[in-house]
Amino acid sequence: SPSNPAAKKYLAQLYQFTGKTAEAEKLLLEITQEQPDVFENHNALAVFYSETRRFDRAIRSLQRAIELKPHHI
pLDDT per residue as tens digits for the range 29-48 = 999 999 999 999 999 999 99
What mean pLDDT is reported for the chain? 94
Render pLDDT for 51-63 as a digit per residue (tens, 0 to 9). Answer: 999 999 999 999 9
Our CA dihedral for 53, 45, 62, 38, rounded to 10 degrees, sits at 180
Angle between helices 39-51 and 21-34 (to 10 degrees): 160
Confidence (pTM): 0.89
* E runs forming strands in 1-73: none
Residue 73 has pLDDT above 70, yes or no: no
Percentage of the chain lying above the pLDDT 70 cut = 97
Q: What is the pLDDT of residue 1?
A: 59
